[in-house]
Amino acid sequence: MDSVPEFDIVTGPNTFWICDIAFRPINRPRPAPGQGCNSAGEAYPTMVVEVGVNQSHKSLYRAAAHYFSPRTTIQIYLAIKIFPRRQNGTRAMVALRFLRTNPNPTRPDIVKSFGTAPIPRQMKDYLQAKHVPDAAITGLRRPGDPACNAAGIALYQMNFPAALLFNGDPAGVPGALAAGFNLDLWIVQAAALRG
């Protein structure tokens, strides 16, 4: 996989977005002229990530419609919202996984609250208004839920299907990644708390 920070992506006529990081298979072929993801004619990434600190959870959510527009071939969108520190020093963090292959790709199929504070009420209300099933929201939802306080906790692993990550790669999925790639959200939390 190749990763590129702050990657320009054409999402429609006269419309482009700059994602925080993009991933694509190294062997993914260049698209036909005029179908590239940017002015250089590069292949679209298979996964894009947005991390919102100042960006609202609503704008992160709405970005899925752009990343999964008919113009793109992006397969996975990961939105991470990092909320401001609370007076007690804790911080809510929420990861949303969107997949193009979902029946409704602009609705996350997995939402994990993984900060040191529970998911904020305003975000819970927003997800409910967007008809995100309650069962899709896991992690630190309320005081007393299991904390994301160490690496390797199963509840705080987020899987990304290899078939989507390596979509369009003529070499196919590497054998070591047949089950997909797991992101340990504790690592993301630790990095955010250092910042």
Q: CA–CA separation, 49 vs 108, rounded Å? A: 13
For the chain, give the mean pLDDT.
93
pLDDT in tens, 68-77: 999 999 999 9
The pLDDT score that the predictor gives to residue 142 is: 83
**b/e code 91-126 from CB counts within 10 Å (16+ = b):** bbbbbbbbbbeeeebbbbbbbbbbbbbbbbeebbee
The pLDDT score that the predictor gives to residue 2 is: 84
Q: Which residues pair with 76 in a beta bridge?
A: 47, 99
Which regions of the chain are under pLDDT 70? 195
The pLDDT score that the predictor gives to residue 50 is: 97
Q: Which residues pair with 134 in a beta bridge?
A: none
Of 78, 151, 148, nearest to 117 (Cα)?
Answer: 148
Q: Which residues pair with 2 in a beta bridge?
A: 24
The pLDDT score that the predictor gives to residue 175 is: 87
Count how many domains the chain has. Answer: 1
The pLDDT score that the predictor gives to residue 108 is: 98
Phi and psi angles of residue 54, each rounded to the nearest 5 degrees, phi first:
-90, -25
Global confidence as pTM:
0.95
The pLDDT score that the predictor gives to residue 14 is: 85
Q: Domain containing 33: what range?
A: 2-194
The pLDDT score that the predictor gives to residue 144 is: 82
